[in-house]
Amino acid sequence: MSPWEIFVAILGLALITAFTRAFFLYPDQDLPLPGWLRRGLRYAPLAALAAVIVPEVVMTDGHLIATLQDARLPASLAASVYYFSRRDILGTIVTGMAVFLPLRIGLGW
C-alpha cells in the first residue's frame, strides 16, 4: 500500500471509531428503551467481565488447567470469599494478589 492509502485507511478507521464510540452523545434526549432491554443491559458489564476473567482463570494456552496446583485458583477463591463477605472491590483485588503472588513467585505455581 502506498503512504496515501495507509493515511486514508487510518483516517477512515479513526472516524468510524469516533462515531461509534460517541454515538450516545449525539441525541438531545434519552433514547426510549423497552423495559426488557433496560433490565437486560444491567447484566451486560457482569457478563462481559465473566467472559474475560473465567477463561483466564481456568485455561492455559487454550486448554483447561490439568492440575489444582495453579496459583490462579486459590487466588480467585480468596478474592471471591473476600468480595462476598465485604463487598469491597479494592480489597478483593488486594486479597487476590496477596494470595496469587506468593504462590506464583514463592512456590512457582
Distances (CA, A) of 33 to 22, 27, 30, 39: 18, 14, 9, 10
494470595: which residue's cell?
99
Q: Residue 78: what pLDDT?
A: 96
Amino acid at 62: G
492455559: which residue's cell?
60
The DSSP element (H or E) to which 59 belongs, if any, is strand 59-60
- Among 19-33, 46-60, 90-104, whose mean pLDDT is lowest? 19-33
The answer to whether residue 58 is domain-embedded is no
- pTM, two decimals, is 0.60
Assess whether 1 and 45 both reside in one domain. Answer: yes
The count of structural domains within the chain is 2
Assess whether 3 and 45 both reside in one domain. Answer: yes
The answer to whether residue 54 is domain-embedded is no
Which domain does 5 fall in, by range?
A: 1-49
The answer to whether residue 89 is domain-embedded is yes
The answer to whether residue 57 is domain-embedded is no
Phi and psi, residue 89, nearest 5°:
-70, -45
18 vs 68 pLDDT, higher one: 18
Assess whether 40 and 79 both reside in one domain. Answer: no
The answer to whether residue 97 is domain-embedded is yes
Rounded-to-integer distance, Cα 2 and Cα 64, Å: 44
Q: Residue 98: what pLDDT?
A: 96
The per-residue pLDDT for range 45-74, each reduced to its tens digit, is 889 888 998 898 889 888 888 888 889 999
Residue 91, pLDDT > 90, answer yes
